[in-house]
Amino acid sequence: MNIVLLSGGSGKRLWPLSNNIRSKQFIKIFKNADGSHNSMLQRVFEQIKSVDSKAQITIATSKSQVSSISNQLADNVSISVEPCRRDTFPAIALAACYLHDVLHVSAEEAVVVSPIDPYVDKSYFAAFSKLAELAQQPENNLVLMGIEPTYPSEKYGYIIPEGKDTISTVSMFKEKPDAQTAEKYIAQGALWNGGVFAFKLQYLLDKAHELIAFDDYYDLYNKYAELTKISFDYAVVEKEPKITVMRYAGQWKDLGTWNTLTEAMDEQVIGKGILNEACENVHVVNELDVPILCMGLKNIIVAAGPDGILVSDKAQSSYIKPFVDNIIQPVMYAEKSWGSYQVIDMEKESLTIRITLKAGSRMNYHSHEHRDEVWTIIQGSGHTLVDGMEQEVHAGDVITIAAGCRHTIMADTELKIIEVQLGKEINVNDKQKFELEK
C-alpha cells in the first residue's frame, strides 16, 4: 500500500513548543512503556506499520521540516520536499510525480493521502486498505474517508453522502458551518471531511498535467514557486463527478490546540513539574531544565520551552495565534538530521548553543567568515576535522575554530557540545558548505 502523509503547519497554536520549524507533529508527548515519549509523527508511523508492515510511506513536506522528520524516523520513509509552501493540491501533485518518476511506483497502483497528525486508533489505518481497494474500481476516481461526527463542529467541512450506507456516492460538500447549520447537516447523515482520500496514481498524474504545464517531477519541482496556491478540495475534490465516501466511526481527534492535545495525554506532567492536591485538570509540558510548581490551579495548561512560557486557561489557549504572531525572535530550539540544538544565551557579540549530535552523525563541513567558534565537549566522544587536521575528542576537550577555518565534528557516541560563537556579525547566513574529502 502506498501512503502519502501531508506534513505542514506553522506551529503557532502549540507555542512555545512549536514554531515554523518544529510543528505540532514533532512534539513528544505520548508516553512509551519504557518511560520515553513519542511524537504524533512517530505514533502515526508505528500505527501504520503495525497494520501493514510493507506499507510504503512518503511524507510530503516543506524544506524546514525535513531535518525533524529525518531525526525522528531516520531513513524509514521517503520524503517529497516542497521547495516552498503552495497548499495541498501542488503538494499532492508533486508527491504523485515523485512516486511515479523517482520511486517508480506504477501508475495503476492506488495511493492513500492523509494528514500526518490525526489522533486515532489502528482501525483508522486498517481502513486505508479498503479505501485503496475502492479506488481501484473503475466507477470511482476518488474515494474519501468521512468521519462520523460526534458533535456539531464549526471547525470542519462536511461531506453530504447520497445515503447512509458505509459506502456511498457523494451528494455535495459544505464549507465550515455555524453550530446550528452543522446540526442540520448531521441530521442529513453528513460526515466530517478529515482530509483522507484515495485514487489511482494515474488519475492524479492526469489531473496534475491538466491543471499545471510541466513535463515530469523534476520540471514540476523547478517550477513549483510559480504555482498557484490552491487546496486539493477546491482544485480536484469538489469538481469530481465520480466520487465515493466511506464512513469511519472509530476514534478520531484533531489535536490542534493545547486544549485538545491535553485530552490525549497519558500523564498530567511531562518534564519537571509538581502539582499540589488542590489542582484540577491541570497539565504541564516542560522542556526546560528547571522545575515548575503549580498550586490551586484549575483548567490550566502550562507549556515551557526554549522559545517561551505559556500559562493559559485551556479554553482560551485556542485563541493563541494572534498573540504569537506578535512575538518576533529567532528559533531557540530545532531538530536537525544529525541531532538538535538549543540556544541557551544571546549577547551582543556572542551566542551560546547546546548541541546534541547523534552517534554516527556529523555536521556539514563548513566555515564562517565573520565569527570564531569555541566547542567544549561535555559528553561522549568523536572526531573533529579543522582545515584538514583530524583529532579525537572526549568530554572536557575544547576546540577553538577561527573565522574562515573549514570544520566539522563526527560523533562516535552521542556527543553533547557547548558551542560559543564570537563576533560582531553573528548571522545564520554566514555559512559556506564544502564537500568532505574521502
* pLDDT tens profile 91-130: 999 999 999 999 999 999 999 999 998 899 999 999 999 9
Query: Taking Cα atoms as reference points, which of 93, 66, 96 lies closest to residue 2?
Result: 96
Q: Are residues 45 and 190 in the same domain?
A: yes
Confidence at 331, pLDDT banded by 50, 70, 90: confident
| 389 CB-contact burial (10 Å; exposed 0-12 / middle 13-18 / buried 19+) | exposed
Q: Are residues 82 and 111 in the same domain?
A: yes
Q: Is residue 348 part of a domain?
A: yes
As a whole number of angstroms, the distance between CA 73 and CA 42 comes to 7
Mean pLDDT on 405-425: 95
pLDDT for the residue numbered 336: 85
Q: Is residue 416 part of a domain?
A: yes
Region of 5 (left: φ > 0; alpha: ψ -120 to 50; beta: rest) is beta
- Residue 67 makes CB contacts below 8 A (sequence gap 6+) with 21, 334, 335, 336, 337
- Residue 269 makes CB contacts below 8 A (sequence gap 6+) with 275, 283, 284, 286
Mean pLDDT on 148-166: 88
Mean pLDDT on 260-286: 95
pLDDT above 70 covers a percentage of the chain that reads: 99
Q: Are residues 86 and 148 in the same domain?
A: yes
pLDDT for the residue numbered 11: 67
Average pLDDT, the chain: 92
Q: Are residues 129 and 189 in the same domain?
A: yes
pLDDT at 224 over 60: yes
Sole residue written with cell 519504557: 34
Q: Is residue 12 part of a domain?
A: yes
Q: Is residue 105 part of a domain?
A: yes
**Strand ranges inside 235-364, DSSP E:** 243-248, 252-254, 269-270, 273-275, 280-286, 292-294, 298-305, 308-313, 333-336, 339-347, 350-357
pLDDT for the residue numbered 438: 56
Q: Is residue 259 part of a domain?
A: no
Query: Taking Cα atoms as reference points, which of 109, 97, 69, 114 lies closest to residue 227?
Result: 97
As a whole number of angstroms, the distance between CA 67 and CA 42 comes to 14
Q: Are residues 272 and 314 in the same domain?
A: yes
As a whole number of angstroms, the distance between CA 258 and CA 13 comes to 7
Q: Is residue 185 part of a domain?
A: yes
pLDDT for the residue numbered 123: 93
Q: Which of 15-24, 348-357, 416-425 has the lowest mean pLDDT?
A: 15-24
Mean pLDDT on 52-70: 91
Query: How many structural domains are present in the chain?
Result: 3
Q: Are residues 14 and 152 in the same domain?
A: yes
Domain that holds residue 279: 267-319
pLDDT for the residue numbered 155: 82
Mean pLDDT on 190-194: 91
Q: Are residues 291 and 234 in the same domain?
A: no
Nine cell digits for residue 436: 568532505
pLDDT for the residue numbered 10: 64
Confidence at 376, pLDDT banded by 50, 70, 90: very high
Q: Are residues 152 and 277 in the same domain?
A: no
Q: DSSP class of residue 255? A: -
Q: Is residue 201 part of a domain?
A: yes
Sole residue written with cell 531516520: 74
Q: Is residue 331 part of a domain?
A: no
Mean pLDDT on 71-96: 92
As a whole number of angstroms, the distance between CA 435 and CA 342 comes to 26
Q: How far is CA 404 from CA 260, 347, 366, 432, 436, in A?
A: 49, 22, 9, 9, 16
pTM recorded for the entire structure: 0.84
Identify the CATH number of the domain in which residue 154 sits.
3.90.550.10
Q: Are residues 220 and 356 in the same domain?
A: no
Q: Which of 8-12, 115-119, 129-133, 151-155 has the lowest mean pLDDT?
A: 8-12
